């Protein structure tokens, strides 16, 4: 993966505010969706778009929250998976949103750039476990059919069954969100864009 993110950003920035579907504001939030609007500030575009189908929102957001939120896997590792997958899938919204989350989870700017394909991963990451994890993510996200034995073997060396199951599911859930957010053109929040500019990662 080499520097794919830059061209995605350039191609999509012009339509960053042009969501394909209307984003439902708090005043129009269906009754069953209202608990997901309870936080401070506007709801995320994912919530505000899913609100069109409240029965689907009710199933999707707890699922996504459970898988992408805090679990036994530490947040740094989880954000490596989410950001790497999103960059591979060229999902502008997810890359921008998870760049800030990754920074808040302890990843350096250099590590973020490597995961986004702007630098060589091997030039930045040195930890054997994290390199094996990134290889696994690349294979799960882009591969077809069964994973090659060598990549599987590397993953098995650093992850037990529970970790491998969960990390693979994090990739799969992220893929789902990548395609959802990209296809619907969900806009990145102004706060996130400001943070990215501040970090030199816009």
Partner 1 sequence: MTAMAGAIARGEVGGRLWFYANYHCNLRCTYCLTESAPEVTRRELGREQIVERAREGRELGFTALGVTGGEPFVLEYMPELIAALGSELPTIVLSNATVFNDRRLREMEPLADLPVQVQISLDRPDPDDNDAMRGPENFRKVVEAVPKLVERGIGVRIATTLEDPDAADPHEMERLCELHRSMGIPDEDHVVRPIINRGRAVSNDLGVLAGFEQLEPELTLTADGAFYSPFAPTVRGGDLDTDLLVSRTTAPLREPAEMLARIAGSRPAGNDASIGIR
Binding residues (CB under 8 A) for partner 1: these are 22, 24, 27-32, 51-56
Paired tokens of 102: 């990754």
Q: How far is the CB of 35 from partner 1 (least distance, A)?
A: 10
Q: Which is nearer to partner 1, 35 or 69 (CB)?
A: 35
Q: Which is nearer to partner 1, 12 or 47 (CB)?
A: 47
Q: Which is nearer to partner 1, 53 or 183 (CB)?
A: 53
| Nearest by Cα to 81 from 129, 120, 126, 43 | 129
Q: Which is nearer to partner 1, 32 or 153 (CB)?
A: 32
> How many angstroms separate the Cα of 181 from the Cα of each of 19, 62, 123, 184?
9, 17, 30, 5
**Is there a contact between 45 and 22 (Cβ–Cβ < 8 Å)?**
no
Paired tokens of 79: 């954000």
Q: How far is the CB of 23 from partner 1 (least distance, A)?
A: 12
Distance from C-alpha of 194 to C-alpha of 106, rounded to nearest angstrom: 19
Q: How far is the CB of 26 from partner 1 (least distance, A)?
A: 9
């Amino acid at each position: 993966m080499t520097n794919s993110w830059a061209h995605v950003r350039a191609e999509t920035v012009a339509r960053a505010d042009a969501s394909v579907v209307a984003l439902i504001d708090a005043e129009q939030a269906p009754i069953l969706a209202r608990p997901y609007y309870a936080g401070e500030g506007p709801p995320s575009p994912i919530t505000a778009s899913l609100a069109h189908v409240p029965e689907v929102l009710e199933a999707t957001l707890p699922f996504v929250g459970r898988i992408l939120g805090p679990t036994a896997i530490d947040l740094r590792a989880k954000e490596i998976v989410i950001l790497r997958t999103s960059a591979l899938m060229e999902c502008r919204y997810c890359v921008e949103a998870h760049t800030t989350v990754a920074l808040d989870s302890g990843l350096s700017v250099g590590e973020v750039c490597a995961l986004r394909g702007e630098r060589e991963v091997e030039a930045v990451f040195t930890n054997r476990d994290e390199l094996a994890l990134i290889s696994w993510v690349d294979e799960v996200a882009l591969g077809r059919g069964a994973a090659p034995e060598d990549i599987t073997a590397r993953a098995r060396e650093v992850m037990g069954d529970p970790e491998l199951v969960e990390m693979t599911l994090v990739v799969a859930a992220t893929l789902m969100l990548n395609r959802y957010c990209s296809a619907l053109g969900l806009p990145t929040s102004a706060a996130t864009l400001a943070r990215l500019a501040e970090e030199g990662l816009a």
